[in-house]
Amino acid sequence: MPELPEVATVVRGLRETVLGARITSVVLNAPPKSIELSRSFKSDGFDRVITGKEIIDVSRRGKNILLALSGDTTLWVHLKMTGHFFFHRQDKPVDKHDLVLFDLKLPDNGTASLRFNDYRRFGRLRLYPDDELWLQKGLRELGPEPLKITAGDFVGLCKGSRRMIKPALLDQSFIAGLGNIYTDESLYAARIHPKRLTSSVSKKKLIELHAHIQRILRTAIRKMGTSVDSYSSVNGQPGQYQKYLKAYNNEGSPCRICGRPIVREKIGSRSAHFCPRCQRA
């Protein structure tokens, strides 16, 4: 699933391509479960509500993409496992996995097509009035942003909980935006075992972890994210951070620090990659 750096890269690509564009028509090939509408819009339908709207801003909250539209409306998108936004020429042939096609009139009077493509069909597009948006489950309970939380607040967050640290960091209500990749990489960099209880990690070590999380996320954003499956930016370009992974997806490879093989272990319902010597339980 795309995590904070991948979503941030998509948001940056959308800002560079569709900001200020007007949606002139919409074609829906998506299954009903992929589209969610506020009850305020139910009588009109997704395509009728969004047609004619201008894209006035694109932002991110956690792993969520928010396209602010004219008329105090927001298109809220979660890419889930394999969702993509692709920016194309309007005449480009439609792919069988293009679930939603937005025809656009660009600010320079040119035309283009923005397509939501998702071969596993887990992605979600939701349309809400701005005054309802932040009341919705999936947004209202999100925790602090990892690139904005201070070291002191991060320490307080961890010390106020008694949970295994890997599942805690994956919990979007605890901290929003981290997933398996960057949690494994940050814990490896800080030499913290993924099963350690948050409350048992020293203040000094938590400050170190906070610094690693922010450093790794910022580097991954500069490298356009990590492509280990199907993720790519809006122009189809893959990320580059997979070249720098030291723990995630490196099961059996020697640890860069001590040489012992990286192991993979299921913790809760998710896998964790770590060095059993450098990250002692």
Helix (H) or strand (E) holding 55: strand 55-61
| CB-facing half-sphere around the CA of 162: CA atoms within 13 A | 0
d(CA 77, CA 100): 12
The answer to whether 104 and 82 are in contact (CB under 8 A) is no
Instruction: Respond yes or no: is residue 270 known to be catalytic.
Output: yes
Residues 6+ apart with CB under 8 A from 212: 186, 189, 190
Active-site residue identified among 191, 251, 270, 276: 270
Residues 6+ apart with CB under 8 A from 249: 181, 228, 242, 273
Paired residues of 25 in beta bridges: 103
d(CA 115, CA 108): 20
Instruction: Respond yes or no: is residue 2 known to be catalytic.
Output: yes
d(CA 17, CA 215): 28
d(CA 207, CA 237): 34
Active-site residue identified among 5, 6, 53, 63: 63
Instruction: Report, as residue numbers or ranges, the catalytic residues.
Output: 2-3, 63, 270
